[in-house]
C-alpha cells in the first residue's frame, strides 16, 4: 500500500518535496494546502492531487502523513496539530527558532506518540551517506576530526534574513546536524566566529555572512564548520572525516563533469547553482526513508531530538560569538 500524503506549503521547498513524494512508487500525493491558492493548485495538478485546507487535511481519513513546508514560524503549531490528528509528520527544519517552543512541541509529539521526522536532507545525499557508511564500517578507525565546508552561492534577501534566526540557526544548522551525524558522539562545546564580509547590509540586519564553528566532544574529537553566504563558483558542499586509520572525503558535485584544456589551463564548469539541483537525490532519499520508516513501523531519523540538538548547538554558537569564548552545550541546554 502506498502512503497517502498531504503537503502543507507549496512554495519552493514544497515543490521539491512534492516531486519526491510524487516520484516515489510507495507514496501518493493526495492533497496540497497553501495560503496562495494558485501555488497549491499548480502542484496539485502536476501530481494528480486535490487542493484542500490545512484543517481538511488534518481531518482527512485518506491521508496518513504530512510534509510541512510552510514558513518556519508555523512549524511548531502544525506539528502539534497533526500529531494530535494522528498523522505521521515530516517537517522541514527548523521546528522553531526558540528552544523553549521546540521543547513544548516535542512534548506534544511524545505524548501523542506521533512519528516526527525533521528535514536534514543532507544525511540522505548519496555521497555523504557513503562517507557515513565508510565511517561506520571502520575504514578510517575512530573519528578524530570532521571538516565541513558549506558555502551558499549568494546571500538570501534581507527580509529572509530578518526572519531566519540568523546564519547559525538558518544555514549552519545543517552543518551542525551533519557534524553530529559524522562525529558519532554528542558535541559538548561550541566555539564560533561570525563576520560580515560579503555584504555590510547583512550586518545592519543583525546577522553575519561568514562563520566558523568548532565543536568538540567529551573525548576531544573536533569538528570545524566553515560557512559563507557567497561562493562565486557555485554551491560549495564538502565534508571530510579523519580518523585513526585514515580519512574519507566527499567532494563537490557538478551538473556536468567535463574539462576543457586550452592555453589558459584546464577548466571544469562551476558547481551546482544551489540546493535544489545539488540535493535532488537527497530529497528523494529522505522522503523514501520517511516512507520506509512508516511502512516498517521503525523510528524515523533524524527526529525531533535531532532537530532540538542542532538548534542548541546554534544557540551555543550565538552565545560563543557574543561572549568570545567557548560555550558548553549544557549552558544553553539548561
Task: Looking at residues 58 to 97 of the shown chain, list those that interact with a second copy (rule: CB under 8 A).
Answer: none
What are the C-alpha distances in Å from 32 to residues 139, 147, 167, 286, 302?
44, 39, 30, 19, 24
State the pairing for strand pair 222-228/143-151. parallel
CB nearer to a second copy: pick between 19 and 93:
19
d(C-alpha 122, C-alpha 100), whole Å = 26
Element housing 193 (H / E) = strand 187-195
Task: Determine if 42 is a binding residue for a second copy (CB under 8 A).
Answer: no
The single residue listed with the C-alpha cell 501555488 is 39
CB nearer to a second copy: pick between 157 and 220:
220
Task: Looking at residues 121 to 150 of the shown chain, list those that interact with a second copy (rule: CB under 8 A).
Answer: 126-127, 129-131, 134, 139-140, 142, 144-145, 147, 149
Task: Determine if 280 is a binding residue for a second copy (CB under 8 A).
Answer: no
Single out the residue of 97, 98, 77, 89 nearest to residue 118, CA to CA: 89
d(C-alpha 31, C-alpha 27), whole Å = 12
Phi, psi torsion values for 31, nearest 5 degrees: -145, 150
d(C-alpha 79, C-alpha 108), whole Å = 9
CB nearer to a second copy: pick between 159 and 259:
259
Task: Determine if 108 is a binding residue for a second copy (CB under 8 A).
Answer: no
Dihedral class, residue 287 (left if φ above 0, else alpha if ψ from -120 to 50, else beta): alpha
Task: Determine if 198 is a binding residue for a second copy (CB under 8 A).
Answer: yes
Q: Select the residue interacting with a second copy from 61, 113, 157, 264 (CB under 8 A).
A: 264
Q: How far is the CB of 77 from a second copy (least distance, A)?
A: 34
Q: How far is the CB of 130 from a second copy (least distance, A)?
A: 4
Q: Select the residue interacting with a second copy from 24, 112, 253, 285 (CB under 8 A).
A: 253
Q: Select the residue interacting with a second copy from 1, 61, 206, 266 (CB under 8 A).
A: 266
Q: What is the DSSP letter of 70?
A: S
d(C-alpha 20, C-alpha 29), whole Å = 10
CB nearer to a second copy: pick between 107 and 251:
251
The single residue listed with the C-alpha cell 524515523 is 300
d(C-alpha 278, C-alpha 292), whole Å = 23
Element housing 129 (H / E) = helix 126-136
Q: How far is the CB of 267 from a second copy (least distance, A)?
A: 4
Number of residues near a second copy (by CB under 8 A): 69
Q: How far is the CB of 66 from a second copy (least distance, A)?
A: 25
Task: Determine if 322 is a binding residue for a second copy (CB under 8 A).
Answer: no
Task: Determine if 255 is a binding residue for a second copy (CB under 8 A).
Answer: yes
CB nearer to a second copy: pick between 106 and 198:
198
The answer to whether the CB of 208 falls within 8 A of the CB of 314 is no
Sign of CA pseudo-dihedral 163, 151, 90, 54: positive
Kindly list the residues in this chain that would bind a second copy in the complex (CB under 8 A). Answer: 23, 25, 46, 126-127, 129-131, 134, 139-140, 142, 144-145, 147, 149, 151, 189, 191, 193, 195-198, 210, 212, 214, 216, 219-222, 224, 226, 228, 230-233, 236, 242, 244-251, 253, 255-270, 324-326
Amino acid at each position: 500500500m502506498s502512503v497517502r500524503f498531504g503537503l502543507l506549503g507549496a512554495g519552493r521547498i514544497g515543490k521539491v518535496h512534492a516531486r519526491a513524494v510524487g516520484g516515489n512508487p510507495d507514496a501518493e500525493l493526495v492533497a496540497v494546502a497553501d495560503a496562495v491558492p494558485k501555488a497549491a493548485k499548480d502542484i496539485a495538478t502536476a501530481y494528480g492531487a486535490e487542493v484542500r485546507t490545512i484543517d481538511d487535511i488534518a481531518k482527512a481519513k485518506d491521508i496518513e502523513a504530512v510534509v510541512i513546508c510552510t514558513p518556519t514560524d508555523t512549524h511548531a503549531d502544525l506539528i502539534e496539530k497533526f500529531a494530535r490528528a494522528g498523522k505521521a509528520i515530516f517537517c522541514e527544519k527548523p521546528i522553531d527558532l526558540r528552544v523553549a517552543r521546540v521543547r513544548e512541541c516535542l512534548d506534544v509529539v511524545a505524548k501523542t506518540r506521533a512519528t516526527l521526522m525533521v528535514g536534514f536532507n543532507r544525511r540522505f545525499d548519496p555521497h555523504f551517506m557513503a562517507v557515513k557508511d565508510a565511517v561506520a564500517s571502520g575504514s578510517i578507525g575512530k573519528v578524530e576530526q570532521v571538516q565541513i565546508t558549506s558555502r551558499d552561492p549568494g546571500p538570501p534577501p534581507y527580509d529572509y534574513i530578518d526572519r531566519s534566526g540568523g546564519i547559525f540557526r538558518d544555514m549552519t544548522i545543517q552543518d551542525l546536524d551533519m557534524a553530529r551525524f559524522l562525529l558519532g558522539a554528542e558535541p559538548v562545546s561550541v566555539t564560533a566566529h561570525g563576520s560580515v564580509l560579503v555584504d555590510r547590509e547583512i550586518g545592519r540586519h543583525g546577522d553575519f555572512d561568514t562563520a566558523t564553528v568548532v565543536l568538540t566532544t567529551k573525548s576531544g574529537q573536533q569538528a570545524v564548520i566553515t560557512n559563507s553566504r557567497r561562493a562565486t563558483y557555485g554551491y560549495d558542499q564538502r565534508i571530510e572525516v579523519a580518523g585513526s586509520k585514515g580519512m574519507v572525503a566527499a567532494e563537490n558535485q557538478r551538473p556536468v563533469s567535463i574539462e576543457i584544456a586550452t592555453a589558459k589551463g584546464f577548466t571544469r564548469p562551476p558547481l551546482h547553482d544551489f540546493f535544489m539541483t545539488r540535493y535532488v537525490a537527497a530529497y528523494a532519499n529522505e522522503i523514501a526513508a520517511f516512507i520506509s520508516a512508516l511502512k516498517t513501523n521503525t523510528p524515523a531519523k533524524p527526529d525531533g531530538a535531532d532537530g532540538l540538538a542542532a538548534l542548541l548547538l546554534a544557540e551555543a554558537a550565538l552565545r560563543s560569538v557574543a561572549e568570545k569564548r567557548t560555550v558548553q552545550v549544557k549552558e544553553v541546554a539548561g
